[in-house]
Amino acid sequence: MSEDYVEVRDEPRHRRRFENEFVRMYDVLVPSGDTTMYHHHTEDTFYVSVNEATVRDQRWGSDEARTGVAPAGLALCRTHRSKPLIHQVSNVGDGEMRMIGAEIKRSPAVTSADPLEAPGHELGLEREQLRAYDLTLDSGASTGDIEYRFSSLTVVLVIASVLVRSGNGSERTMVYAPGDVIWQPGPVEFSLTNVGETPFKAVMGEWR
């Protein structure tokens, strides 16, 4: 480790949530006016913005910084394994910046050759390591019975109540908040029904 930057694991605003053999997931929270330490990314990473934020990205060794708005629900997959990154991020907006980062450590044994086609799911990003879908269900809407023929990470963007019915017929109502994350080893069969009064919105990443 350099004295001037840390590995992303050691950056205090990148809060570790969980890790297994396929994914290491962290929750980035930067208050308004705050800046991360310079930190080093070396693993391909799936990013989802939980809320809209205005950020300044300063790369190590560069005299120039990029400032832009990251909208809620923005999904990215960055190839840090082949293109390592050292940077710091400043929140230059009025609200907090929150983003989920999921390092793609390896591919599961079971993957899907073709993109998912299921109610409520819209393919938004396709990369060698990952596909990402916008998942939206209006109040009362359901996916019907679907199958994820892959392992996945879903990032919830809103407060929502969702009835989850598994393939064996068991069911439970889950109450979600923005930034909640669900890792599902696949394949898995289930259905989702929005039993709340407002739309359910999430981003789902498919491990390839």
pLDDT of res. 3: 63
Percent share of the chain, pLDDT over 70? 99
Chain mean pLDDT for the chain: 96
Q: CA 56 to CA 14: how far, in whole Å? A: 16
Domains of the chain by residue range: 6-104, 121-207
3-state SS, one letter per residue, for the chain: CCCCCEEHHHCCCEEEEEECCCEEEEEEEECCCCECCCEEECCCEEEEECCCEEEEEEECCCCCEEEEEECCCCEEEECCCCCCEEEEEEECCCCCEEEEEEEECCCCCCCCCCCCCCCCEEEEEECCCEEEEEEEECCCCECCCEEECCCEEEEECCCEEEEEEECCCCEEEEEECCCCEEEECCCEEEEEEECCCCCEEEEEEEEC
pLDDT surpasses 80 at 80: yes
**Mean pLDDT across 198-207:** 98
Q: Model-level pTM?
A: 0.95
**Mean pLDDT across 91-96:** 96
Give the strand pairing for 97-104 and 181-184: unpaired
CATH number of 121-207: 2.60.120.10
Does the domain formed by 6-104 have CATH 2.40.30.10?
A: no
Cα-to-chain-centroid distance, residue 49:
7
pLDDT surpasses 50 at 146: yes
pLDDT of res. 108: 96
- Pull the structure tokens for residue 107: 């591919």
